[in-house]
Structure 1
Amino acid sequence: MLTIVKRGDGSDSARSEGPYTGEMWRDLVQQDANGNSFGKVFFTPCARTYWHSHPGGQLLIVEHGEGLVGDENGTYKIGVGDYVWTPPNTRHWHGATSGRSMLHTAVTFGGATWEEEVPEEHYLEANSSAKS
């Protein structure tokens, strides 16, 4: 059976609670019992996730602003129209730059395994030296 989610369905956005630094808001569109979900996440400047991974991977689609995504190989600057595929079980983090907010759609497969916070020093270095 199809699920149709119409714009303006009256659902309130919710401030995200959990393993994040800074302020994030989330509109969860769909989630199932296996941890598969999709929704929109808004990051205020400097807001970011903790290090984490997804058993089935994750697709991010940047819709507004400017952000950062990092893994063990480095940090990359992302912007409107960019897609980021994170393969299954790849340790990473993502969030807004220090000077801009960011909105992305996240399509997550298999839930998330959360780890430690991205230290402020690591974030500041990534913010200034991220690859394009």
Structure 2
Amino acid sequence: MLHLTQSDRANRNKNTNSDGGELMEVIKNGSIPEEDATNAPLFYGGAVSRQPIVAGGKSSYYNFSQVNFAAGAKNKFHTHTSDQILFVTKGVGIVANESEEIEISEGDTALIPSGEKHWHGATDRSSFSHISLTHPESQTEMFD
């Protein structure tokens, strides 16, 4: 097993390992600043922030970001062109489709199939954070 110091890593090619593949990247908890998303058209009901953990072309297969909702904040009904996986990291929230609303809390996972009209957000009594996982080419369509 090869152990590299920060200096060793900085001196290596940042994009490839010794086999020509991409190097692993470790993203430390709290190292990604929160971006205010409260005024984005998708959200309503309170403060919302996002932390794009793996985005912007870092992965060919995944977009991975944390979304933080203040109590009462939600998103509007929407669909994605890929499956979406939500992993709850804090608080109590709701994930809903057109026929049901399900309360979810820390440690729960929701799998939302591509094309399913849904919404998710915090309950009125708790803030709520989740990790969202989608495909990088996934498109979101919002409904009022």
Instruction: Give TM-score, length-normalised by structure 1.
Output: 0.79
How do 1:1-132 residues align onto structure 2 when only pairs under 5 Å count?
1-7=22-28, 10-16=31-37, 17-21=40-44, 22-32=46-56, 36-109=62-135, 110-116=138-144
Specify the SS of the correspondent of 1:89: coil
> Matched residue of 2:27: which SS?
coil
RMSD: 2.0
The secondary structure found in structure 1 opposite 2:104 is strand
Cross-structure match for 1:129: none
- Summarize the Cα distance change of 1:2–1:84 in structure 2 as closer, same or farther, 3 Å threshold: farther
How far 1:4 sits from its partner (Å)? Answer: 1.3
- Matched AA of 1:29: I
Deviates more, 1:8-17 or 1:67-76: 8-17
| Structure of greater relative contact order (alpha carbons < 8 Å, 6+ residues apart) | 1
**Structure-1 residue corresponding to 2:17:** none
Scaled by the length of structure 2, the TM-score of the pair is 0.73
* Moved segments of 4+, more than 3 Å: 8-11, 32-36
Unmatched 5+ stretches in structure 1: 117-132
